[in-house]
Amino acid sequence: MAPRTALLATGLAAYAVSFALPAVKLQDMPPLRGWVCAAHVYTVGASAARDGEWLGPLLLACGLINPAMLLYLLFRFTGRARPRRVTALVLAGLLPVVPVTFAVGDIRPILGCGLWIAGMLLTVCGDFRRT
């Protein structure tokens, strides 16, 4: 198996599994699974933004990560290299927002979140690996 294919397969597997695992812990609540985070980031972010909280725009920026990843995969599997690389750079720009969001929102990342980020990085890093 070619290294790029191995990175893609490993990254996609990690990314997919991350949605089933506990991803974040909020104050006194039980851990939330990755799919719950992905489903609620927009509503919670919009609500916080309306209330004028810093957390709102940060959550909304985090909410752009999964659609950007899906767009990256679409470009990847349709062979569109330039838009795929631009989307990978957008992902790389959005990922640093995650730890800032955690710090501002007093959110503790756990296994699923780490796997989510690692999966995305492994998936896109094949585009930037020299052959």
Ranges of each domain in the chain: 3-128
pLDDT, tens digit (0-9, with 9 covering 90-100), for 77-99: 999 989 999 999 999 999 999 99
pLDDT recorded at residue 116: 96
Quick one: DSSP state of residue 52?
T
Burial 45-61 (b: 16+ CB within 10 A, else e): beebbeeeeebbebbbb
* DSSP-assigned beta bridge partners for residue 50: none
Q: Is 19 within 8 Å of 120 (Cβ atoms)?
A: no
Q: How many CB atoms lie within 10 A of CB 37?
A: 24
- CA–CA dist 60, 94 (Å, integer): 11
What the block records as the tokens of 83 is 């838009």
- Could you report the per-residue pLDDT of 105-116, keeping only the tens digit for each? 889 999 999 999
pLDDT recorded at residue 32: 94
Q: Around 101, how many Cα atoms within 13 Å sit in the side-chain half-sphere?
A: 24
Which residues in the chain land under pLDDT 70? 129-131
Please tell me the distance from the alpha carbon of residue 80 to that of residue 36, in angstroms, as a whole number: 31
